[in-house]
Structure formats: C-alpha cells, structure tokens
Structure 1
Amino acid sequence: MEPPFHGSPIFPAIVLGLIILIIIINAVRFHKRIDKMDGWSKHHHWDHNDQPTAMEILNNRYANGEIDDEEFINRKQHLLMTEKELRLMMMQDVPMDKQDED
C-alpha cells in the first residue's frame, strides 16, 4: 500500500518538524518577552500613595474656603470626567501619542 503523499515519509516528517520548531521558538520568545515585562515592573515600582490625590487637594481647598461652591463643582466634574476618560482609554488600550490627535 502506497502512502497518501506519494513518496518517502521523510518529506512530511521534515515539514512537521519545521512546524513544531517554529511553535517552540515562538513560545520561547513569548515567554522571554513576558519575563522582561515582569522584571521591569518588579524593579520600577513607584508608590503613588505618598502624595495626595487631586480630589483630596480640591476637597481641602474647598474646606479651607480657598474656592467657592461653583468653582468646586466645576473642578470636581472636570476631575471625574478626566478619570472616566482615562479608564476608558486604558480599557481600549489607546497609545498615549494617538490621544493627542483627537
């Protein structure tokens, strides 16, 4: 009985070997890339909690009477809108340089 590929089984073995080799190489490259990103985040961590947030500063200024009601409401709405836009952009994964073009 003749094989369905009409020849030596070496040709399909070579093709299959190349496909497996390409898959292994890509898996190793992907794993190294993930390790690089993980290492970057481990060594470049900033503690963002050591400074007050913009909302805390705004609330303090309002409590101290530095700004009036109307200005407080406008700035608070602006901060909340900015926060929503940032969350939306992070969810859509929009690059920072593309945001300025809009």
Structure 2
Amino acid sequence: MSSLTGTFEVGDLVWRQMYSPTHPHWFATLEERIAGGVRYRGRELLRIVWVGPAEQGPHPLSGKELPPATTRWVFAKPGHEANRDHYSSCDDNWCVLEHATTDDALF
C-alpha cells in the first residue's frame, strides 16, 4: 500500500521516497513528479510520529508559495522517536510512502 492508494497513521513504519520539489515544476502533482522520475535523496525507513494538515504560505527555505497539499507527515528514525533531532517531514505532494516491516518493504 502506498500514499497514492492508502492511509497512514501515527506509529506506522514506512519507507519514504521523496521527489524533487522543482521537477517537473514547483506546482506539479505527486503523479507528475513520479512520472518525471527525479528522486530527492534515497529511500528511508522511518516511523510516522505526527500526521496533520499541510501548512500554507511561503516555503521556509525558498520563500516560494507552497504548492497545494492536504497532508503533512512528520517522521523519526526508528528507535529515535523521542529525539526531535532525528525528525523530518514531508507533504503529500513531494513524497511516496509505503508500509514496511523491519524485515522487508512493500515498495
């Protein structure tokens, strides 16, 4: 099950694959980003620690208005959930999630 076809909750162990926010263009949908094939960073095994609405307004680093998104996920490296230094986040228009187990992945 992926973020394109399923739901995810706090506590789920997932594989995350992020895609470039600028390819094919800033306001591209996730499907357009996947079709463009420009991955950002490598695939990571993470645990979801928060799920909520995506923020609107300018991106904190680029200053560009954020593309439309409905969900933001916050993740921690497994075993480091209590340490916010190991947190990262992604909106639903920039990354694909796949449910995972510690033994394998469904990616």
Q: Same fold (TM over 0.5)?
A: no
TM range (shorter): under 0.3
Please identify which structure carries the higher strand content: 2
Of the two, which has the highest radius of gyration?
Answer: 1
